[in-house]
Structure 1
Amino acid sequence: MYTKTIIIYRDGVSEGQYQHVINDEYAHFKNVCESVYTKVKKSPPKIAIIVTTTPAPAGTVVHRGVTNQFMWDFYLQARKAIKGTARPAHYAFVMDDF
């Protein structure tokens, strides 16, 4: 079975490293997919890379207004912490083939 889409969630990337992710990591994923899919005569999958960077306040879902005007990004707190600490995060699409 060959997939049509790949979504990569990447942690530990600062804003200064976004271009590295696009130039090196995305390029590597794309080249590998093209190589594999060409051999079986299929179209390579679309790839999206989403990096999580800084934390956001608990309970937050923000997708416009205070987000980056030059890229698609959002803040998300996925769940309430039952015990301990849930860490909300800022997600930024650094590459989106879709």
Structure 2
Amino acid sequence: MFMVLLRFSDNKAAAEQHMADHKEWIKRGVDDGVFLLVGSINPGLGGAILADGTSLEDLERRVAADPFVVESIVSSEIVEIAPWLADDRLKFLLA
């Protein structure tokens, strides 16, 4: 399991120009079953994605294809998580 952090860069002003393509990239990740949860890093610092069902190499390729990454609107960081305990509502993530 992975946490992807997408932090806005100095080029944040270009986000609106590429937002539709970025949202389509997110939708593909969800439709492919790789992105489990997508949200904002508040206050307006970027975004975060919980990803699973993929390898680190494949996720790195996927993140590199994000229009926000391509256009240097965000910098990306991928953190690998090895879950071992979860609330009952999230036990499915331990499988």
Task: Verify same fold: TM over 0.5.
Answer: no
Q: TM-score, normalised to structure 1's length?
A: 0.31
Q: TM-score, normalised to structure 2's length?
A: 0.31
Higher RCO by CA contacts (8 Å cutoff, separation 6 or greater): 2
Q: Who wins on radius of gyration, i.e. which is larger?
A: 1
